Amino acid sequence: MNSFMSKYRDHCYALMRIVVGFLFLWHGVQKLFGFPSGMPGNVPAFITYVAGPIELIGGILVMIGLFTNWAAFITSGQMAFAYWIGHGTKALLPLQNNGELAVLYCFAFLFIAAYGGGIWSVDALINRQRAHG
């Protein structure tokens, strides 16, 4: 039986991909440019100069749907790494170690990596042009 939302499945996925990418890119903006507010506490340079560009560029690529599979796969891996290095050493459960956001991003990006750009993506536009050209 189809749910009442099944005809909007592709649209809802596209909106989720766009919003996840948009929200994620701001973590990179914050790390690299201190906007909208500076990074809390003493953040190691590794976090600023490695994680920041991955978050900014990966977020933009996922949001617009360009090289979506690879961008989402890399950002998913970064979030898995962030969870185990930054949160998992404090306590096992995300609720205890404040790692829920890292886990959610990790699995959202893993899903996006498996699903691809979908509609409303640059990847889809490129694929349509290849098919017709």
What is the domain partition of the chain in residue ranges? 6-75+106-132
pLDDT tens column, 18-42: 999 999 999 999 999 999 887 777 7
Q: DSSP string covering the chain, please?
A: ---TTGGGHHHHHHHHHHHHHHHHHHHHHHHHH--SSPPPS---HHIIIIIHHHHHHHHHHHHHTSSHHHHHHHHHHHHHHHIIIIITTT-SSHHHHT-HHHHHHHHHHHHHHHH-S-SSSHHHHHHHHHHH-
pLDDT at 41: 72
Closest CA to 19 of 99, 94, 115, 120: 120
pLDDT, the chain, mean: 94
pLDDT at 2: 80
pLDDT tens column, 80-92: 999 999 999 999 8
Closest CA to 69 of 81, 54, 58: 58
Q: Crossing angle for the helix pair 9-33 and 52-64, nearest 10 degrees? A: 150
pLDDT at 1: 64
pLDDT at 22: 98
